[in-house]
Amino acid sequence: MKEHELFDVIIIGGGPAGLFSAFYSGLREMKTKIIEYQPKLGGKMHVYPDKMIWDVGGVTPIPVGELIERVVKQGLTFQPEVVLNEKVTAIHKNETDIFVIDTASGQKHFTKMIILAVGGGILNPTTLDVKHADKYSDKTLHYSVKSLRHFKNKTVLISGGGNAAIDWALELEPIAKKVYVSYRKDTFKGHEAQVTELLNSSITCCFHTSITRLNGNITDGVIKSVELTDLSTNTVTELTVDDVIINHGYEREAKLLKNSDLDIRLKEDFFIDGNALSESNIAGLYAAGDILKYDGKVHLIVGAFQDAVNAVNRAKQFIEKEAEEFPMVSSHNELLKERSMELMKQINE
């Protein structure tokens, strides 16, 4: 990385919104950089790589892991510079009205425009607050399901009552030996159809309960049983299990926007209060994906793609006043013409 190198646009976040922004900015011949906090691109989709996703237009049901590969490959089409394992700590402007992005490593990045595509921000799972829980973490105590095969023929307890917990339970039912779900309330808060499917399955639901103890081998990180306490009667039940999955939500880190000198208008003290054109109240600062809020917002991956296109188009016009508001469609774009001919040749061979 060249010191003080100036980019047309820097995209903060390497999930679906950030990657499609990178593709589209390349299509519009903009010098682009992606800064991503995680060690790899793909964003929050890495939390559930084995799940099937059905609602991306024109894409038949596909494992999330495969979708990650596709969006990453597409995002790198025009070879944007990519910085991984880098935490953005603040954004401000210098005396020449250029955006300066400060990072935890001490590096500074310079750009004419910014697209914020940080999703729900840096998400840290809410950990299980019982003695020695950290000793089992990432061994037999899990905060995400990275591989369904890991749980084959095992007895699994899932703690949580939201959509993710219900999804994991239903997907593990045909794979695991036995699945339990512990939830502190008397009704689940997931989608109605999924809740009905769960209640009609072989999965055992333990309402009004909370995990109060993990029993096992701390040295090896192997859980052998879990103590569940009934929150209304204080009755303790011990379940023999092989693995425990915790889905108690995430703690959002909102320091980035709050530490910045720019007076960025927020909603709910966290999200960018923008519009359907992906604009914030700061000229040259755009947003795409879950971090952006506006009337009519679609909180799906397809919505993130539309946000990305709008953000790039507005950004292009911001630095080139004579630029077209919308570029020609990709099938007519000279940058892709040669590649399209190569692909057509491969298809017809």
CA proximity to 335, closest of 21, 73, 37, 30: 30
What is the model's pLDDT at position 80? 97
Its pTM stands at 0.78
What is the model's pLDDT at position 146? 81
What is the model's pLDDT at position 335? 72
Of the pLDDT bands very low, low, confident and very high (cuts 50, 70, 90), residue 231 is very high
Q: Could you tell me the two tokens for 186?
A: 């008397």
How far, in Å, are 55, 147, 213 from residue 133 at the CA level?
A: 36, 21, 9
What is the model's pLDDT at position 1? 59
Residue type, 265: R
Of the pLDDT bands very low, low, confident and very high (cuts 50, 70, 90), residue 274 is very high
Residue with the bigger pLDDT between 49 and 135: it is: 135
What is the rounded average pLDDT of the residues 16-40?
95
Residues making up the annotated binding site are: 36, 44, 48, 88, 123, 290, 331
The residues, any chain, with a CB within 8 Å of residue 95's CB and separated by 6 or more, are none
Dist CA 338 CA 331 (whole Å): 11
CA proximity to 89, closest of 231, 256, 217: 256
What is the model's pLDDT at position 328? 63
Let me know the angle formed at the C-alpha of 28 by 98 and 277, rounded to the nearest 5 degrees.
70
Phi-psi bin for 268: left (phi > 0), alpha (psi -120 to 50), beta? left
Residue with the bigger pLDDT between 259 and 245: it is: 245
Radius of gyration in angstroms for the set of CA atoms belonging to the chain, rounded to a whole number: 23
The DSSP annotation for 112-127 comes to: EEEEE--TTSEEEEPP
What is the per-residue pLDDT across 206-221, written as a single tens digit (0 to 9) for each? 999 999 999 999 999 9
Q: How many CB atoms within 10 Å of residue 346? A: 8
Q: Could you tell me the two tokens for 22?
A: 């990178």
pLDDT at 337 over 80: no
Share of the chain above pLDDT 70, in %: 95
Share of the chain above pLDDT 90, in %: 71
Beta-bridged to residue 287, according to DSSP, are: 116
Beta-bridged to residue 102, according to DSSP, are: 90, 108
pLDDT at 336 over 80: no
Dist CA 163 CA 119 (whole Å): 18
Q: Report all structural domains of the chain as residue ranges with CATH numbers, in order of start.
A: 6-123+251-348 (3.50.50.60), 127-248 (3.50.50.60)
What is the model's pLDDT at position 2? 67
The DSSP symbol for 128 reads P
What is the model's pLDDT at position 254? 66
Tokens 């208008």 belong to which residue? Answer: 265
Residues making up the annotated binding site for FAD are: 36, 44, 48, 88, 123, 290, 331
Tokens 């950290």 belong to which residue? Answer: 134
**Mean pLDDT of all residues belonging to the chain:** 91
What is the model's pLDDT at position 341? 72
Q: Could you tell me the two tokens for 337?
A: 């013409």
What is the model's pLDDT at position 140? 96
| Least confident range of 43-57, 205-219, 221-235, 325-339 | 325-339
